[in-house]
Structure 1
Amino acid sequence: MSAKQTEPVTVISLRELSLGASEPQSRESKTFTVEEAVETIGFGRFHIALFLIMGSTGVAEAMEIMLIAVVSPVIRCEWQLENWQVALVTTMVFFGYMVFSILFGLLADRYGRWKILFISFLWGAYFSLLTSFSPSYIWFVFLRTMVGCGVSGHSQGLIIKTEFLPTKYRGYMLPLSQVFWLAGSLLIIGLASVVVPTIGWRWLIRIASIPGIILIMAFKFIPESARFNVSTGNTPAALATLERIAKMNRSVMPEGKLVEPILEKRGRFADLLDAKYLRTTLQIWVIWLGISFAYYGVILASAELLERDLVCGSRSESEVAVTGGVLEESQSPCYCHMFAPSDYRTMIISTIGEIALNPLNILGINFLGRRLSLSITMGCTALFFLLLNICTSSAGLIGFLFMLRALVAANFNTIYIYTAEVYPTMMRALGMGTSGSLCRIGAMVAPFISQVLMSASFLGALCLFSSVCVVCAISAFTLPIETKGRALQQIK
């Protein structure tokens, strides 16, 4: 009888022991990916610091790119430059950007985003300072080309932000980075209005290099991408980074072990043209090229409209300069029309337009999706290019330029986000690098349309800009992949 009473107790005890023994084993068998860790940790203080530091790369980049627009009238006079020589400066900057964008993309996928970003800022700051000592036009072109090479690596800051942000925050935080580009553009225009008339353009370049130097020192607070580390097999470094982020955000890590496949073949051109991504890649390249063509076309056209007074079909410089059958330009290719305070004000107002549509752009990206939002803004850009031909007052011109800057900035916001999201980690930097490289072809052509063709045929230049935007709108609408709400892919 007593044996029968103890038997059930023995059975229960054995079951409890077996259950207790299995629990630790189940915990050990749990695994998680970087994507799951990023989503579990959520948004917090680390991401705010990341947004401020990596976003500030846009300040340095904007100042270096916009610098040419504000010093063009000065160097035209100082070195007796013709139209094509002024346009060549901008073209060579983007040529350097185009070549090194691919190279930096390859290196970033193979050796790390952080290293390439750091090197690019050192490179850019060094050659920017050297530019201020240029003894001649040839040296100026060469050194600005070197600056363009360095600036091409700044896009790695956007990739680092993208790879650390949770999915639902990417559509909000990445467009807000436009604030930094706007700040850089306004800063260089404001500085130019004060520095150029007083101590000269060389000091403007020296002052413009300061933000880049400061950022170099701030990069030590930002770690290498955890997604990149696990792709190279450096899982301990990735885990340490994620734990640090969780601690800063006062959050928790997922239970289990971090497991990701090692990507031995990273940063290959063949992957971009793989059957799965071929159509997407080709259409993205077309869109990037067109957006860059339109964006820098607007910037340079704004300066050209103010400098040459080409509004309402006024005569070109060559027509005005004819005296007694001889072109004055043939005798003196330089004409000195420095920006007046009102010209700087117009540039500032139109530049502020770059953030005017940011709230609508964010709503469109998150609710309409990346493709539809981009196709709408590209279509509107095409329309406003044509409206620029309407003979209007100075206020009307400022209004059209304001809207154009707002639209082209929204286009860039969307395509940056889409490109960073559509490619997997194994080729994300290369995808961004090649896109950035191809888009510089548009940026290289834009100066000759805005600074040369526009003088000869104002309407012809505007129709060309508008037609390119229509092609981009169609290409965006027909993109095969929508990335709204989509997790970042690790492998293709």
Structure 2
Amino acid sequence: MTASLRGFHSSGDVCEPTPLLPLPPLGGKVVEAMEIMLIAVVSPVIRCEWQLENWQVALVTTMVFFGYMVFSILFGLLADRYGRWKILLISFLWGAYFSLLTSFAPSYIWFVFLRTMVGCGVSGHSQGLIIKTEFLPTKYRGYMLPLSQVFWLAGSLLIIGLASVIIPTIGWRWLIRVASIPGIILIMAFKFIPESARFNVSTGNTPAALATLERIAKMNRAVMPEGKLVEPVLEKRGRFADLLDAKYLRTTLQIWVIWLGISFAYYGVILASAELLERDLVCGSKSDSEVVVTQGNSEEGQSPCHCHLFAPSDYQTMIISTVGEIALNPLNILGINFLGRRLSLSITMGCTALFFLLLNICTSSAGLIGFLFVLRALVAANFNTIYIYTAEVYPTTMRALGMGTSGSLCRIGAMVAPFISQVLMSASILGALCLFSSVCVICAISAFTLPIETKGRALQQIK
């Protein structure tokens, strides 16, 4: 960890670390990605082991997002009141504990319950982004925060790689146990992660804030600037009423619409990719009856489920599509820093809408994969930008709650997406893709008309 200090003055300005300060566990994005992607690689195996039907497999993912949705608000509320560090630690302990228990699940019901508990724990990982945001100065946030996507990518690729080796040899239970190791390692590293100095100042715990800043100065062989750190104590923190206050009402409502739409498009792309590549519905080369046949052979058709384990080529396809999530990261960073958060997000959302429509074009397999690759890059860029904007637009008194409620509504979009990508798309490919595109257009308009631009704007302490 390296950082230097920009002075604070007797006028009461908060001392702000200035350059790159990777204090929060960026590795938390690795853990979160592994836990979320785990369901995708384990689903075919548990389908076979417990003879599950399609809706039962889908229910696992739905319940994980349901747990995430409920506890995202709770953790955000508690983080604004009791501290980001405490909630982040609790979420890691919670997630690692229930993830390990999942590997011993004796039945499908227990598996669903335990994965729901994992979803509850993972929802608190966003506090790592809040801590990082509150330590980074304005000029570096637009560059450093998007790099979190690299760690999400690393976690996704890691779980896919592990699954390709472990599942065929020693089974899915050992995959879950091995996947829990990074989270356990990060728990042991928590003593190196300080509480947000901004949060400590807002609660009147100035000595703790100064101790953190002095620790940073010592590590950088710098001298603390002269002056006194003075800031009013903020008693009213983490209140839902503040999110809907007249000053932030419009911003909050538009942010919620954007989060819901981005999540809907993100998981829609992932699920639609599998449907389009498997069934070749775009060119209509296969009839409805042929689609049914391709799901399994005659023996599988006699059982309540179609047991199809991933082949090496399936893992390769997952890796290629996942790499797409970082393809636009350099352009995304440039757009965020030079065009601003609002304009950058409106452009990427508009392009996402366009590429959903382009999927209707009858093209070759390579062309289809190319469209899907670009779409995956665009939806990842959308997430990058809205994460940064949400963390920056709210003051310290309700920053974690603002992120928590947004993350909660985000999961509603994730729970609706499967019904569009897998149910509606089977009936009307045009209808499903047009619906995804329409939602993206609404989000693009909402992003462009956001009342506050956070580019070059210092983090607010109070509303």
Task: Report if TM-score (shorter chain) is over 0.5.
Answer: yes
- Partners in 2 of 1:46 and 1:122 — Cα distance? 36
Q: Normalization by structure 1: what TM-score?
A: 0.85
2:6 is matched with: 44
Deviation, 1:337, is 2.4
Deviation, 1:97, is 0.3
- Partners in 1 of 2:384 and 2:444 — Cα distance? 15
Deviation, 1:456, is 3.1
The 3 A distance-change label for structure 1 pair 456 and 138 is farther
| Contact 2:104 2:173 (C-alpha < 8 Å) held by counterparts | yes
Deviation, 1:457, is 2.8
Q: Normalization by structure 2: what TM-score?
A: 0.90
Task: Identify the match of residue 211 of structure 1 among 182, 189, 203.
Answer: 182
The 3 A distance-change label for structure 1 pair 87 and 451 is farther
The 3 A distance-change label for structure 1 pair 190 and 255 is same
Which SS does the other structure have where 1:476 is aligned? helix
- Partners in 1 of 2:43 and 2:288 — Cα distance? 16
Deviation, 1:45, is 17
Deviation, 1:322, is 7.5
The 3 A distance-change label for structure 1 pair 332 and 389 is farther
The 3 A distance-change label for structure 1 pair 320 and 378 is closer
Bigger mean CA offset, 379-388 vs 230-239: 379-388
| Contact 1:321 1:329 (C-alpha < 8 Å) held by counterparts | no
Deviation, 1:209, is 1.2
- Partners in 2 of 1:464 and 1:161 — Cα distance? 36
What CA RMSD, in Å, does the superposition of the two structures yield over aligned residues?
3.0
Deviation track 1:415-450 (CA, whole Å, cap 9, x = no partner) reads 000000000000000000000011110011122222
Which SS does the other structure have where 2:431 is aligned? helix
| Contact 1:226 1:237 (C-alpha < 8 Å) held by counterparts | yes
- Partners in 2 of 1:207 and 1:303 — Cα distance? 27
Bigger mean CA offset, 348-357 vs 316-325: 316-325
Deviation, 1:383, is 1.3
Bigger mean CA offset, 402-411 vs 316-325: 316-325
Deviation, 1:368, is 0.2
Deviation, 1:310, is 4.8
What runs of 5+ residues in structure 2 fail to find an aligned partner? 10-28
Deviation track 1:251-301 (CA, whole Å, cap 9, x = no partner) reads 333321100110000000000000000000000000001111111222233
Deviation, 1:341, is 1.6
The 3 A distance-change label for structure 1 pair 222 and 395 is same
- Partners in 1 of 2:160 and 2:348 — Cα distance? 26
The 3 A distance-change label for structure 1 pair 376 and 323 is closer
Q: Does residue 154 in structure 1 map to residue 125 in structure 2?
A: yes
| Contact 1:83 1:452 (C-alpha < 8 Å) held by counterparts | no
1:424 is matched with: 395
| Contact 2:296 2:307 (C-alpha < 8 Å) held by counterparts | no
Bigger mean CA offset, 461-470 vs 123-132: 461-470
- The percentage of counterpart residues that share the same residue type is 93
Which SS does the other structure have where 1:311 is aligned? coil
| Contact 2:5 2:224 (C-alpha < 8 Å) held by counterparts | no
| Contact 1:73 1:338 (C-alpha < 8 Å) held by counterparts | yes
Deviation track 1:291-329 (CA, whole Å, cap 9, x = no partner) reads 111112222333444555655335587764489999998
- Partners in 2 of 1:204 and 1:458 — Cα distance? 35
- Partners in 2 of 1:238 and 1:109 — Cα distance? 16
1:127 is matched with: 98
Deviation, 1:140, is 1.3
| Contact 1:60 1:184 (C-alpha < 8 Å) held by counterparts | yes
| Contact 2:139 2:456 (C-alpha < 8 Å) held by counterparts | yes
Bigger mean CA offset, 112-121 vs 187-196: 187-196
- Partners in 2 of 1:384 and 1:338 — Cα distance? 30
| Contact 2:34 2:156 (C-alpha < 8 Å) held by counterparts | yes
Deviation, 1:381, is 0.9
- Partners in 2 of 1:94 and 1:200 — Cα distance? 25
| Contact 2:393 2:459 (C-alpha < 8 Å) held by counterparts | yes
- Partners in 2 of 1:321 and 1:158 — Cα distance? 44
| Contact 2:7 2:225 (C-alpha < 8 Å) held by counterparts | no
The 3 A distance-change label for structure 1 pair 307 and 199 is farther
The 3 A distance-change label for structure 1 pair 247 and 234 is same
The 3 A distance-change label for structure 1 pair 44 and 388 is farther
Deviation, 1:87, is 1.7
What runs of 5+ residues in structure 1 fail to find an aligned partner? 1-39, 48-57
| Contact 2:300 2:307 (C-alpha < 8 Å) held by counterparts | no
Deviation, 1:462, is 1.8
* Equivalent pairs, count: 443
Deviation track 1:445-469 (CA, whole Å, cap 9, x = no partner) reads 1222223333333332222211111
- Partners in 1 of 2:383 and 2:300 — Cα distance? 38
| Contact 1:121 1:150 (C-alpha < 8 Å) held by counterparts | yes
Deviation, 1:163, is 0.3
The 3 A distance-change label for structure 1 pair 191 and 317 is farther
| Contact 1:307 1:338 (C-alpha < 8 Å) held by counterparts | no
1:21 is matched with: none
Which SS does the other structure have where 1:41 is aligned? coil
The 3 A distance-change label for structure 1 pair 258 and 462 is same
| Contact 1:131 1:143 (C-alpha < 8 Å) held by counterparts | yes
More helix by share: 1
Which SS does the other structure have where 1:313 is aligned? coil
Deviation, 1:132, is 1.4
The 3 A distance-change label for structure 1 pair 481 and 65 is same
Deviation, 1:67, is 1.1
The 3 A distance-change label for structure 1 pair 320 and 303 is closer
Deviation, 1:134, is 1.7
The 3 A distance-change label for structure 1 pair 75 and 323 is closer
| Contact 1:304 1:451 (C-alpha < 8 Å) held by counterparts | yes
Deviation, 1:220, is 1.1
| Contact 1:350 1:399 (C-alpha < 8 Å) held by counterparts | no
The 3 A distance-change label for structure 1 pair 64 and 322 is closer
Of structures 1 and 2, the larger Rg is shown by 1
1:340 is matched with: 311
| Contact 1:59 1:184 (C-alpha < 8 Å) held by counterparts | yes
The 3 A distance-change label for structure 1 pair 486 and 337 is same
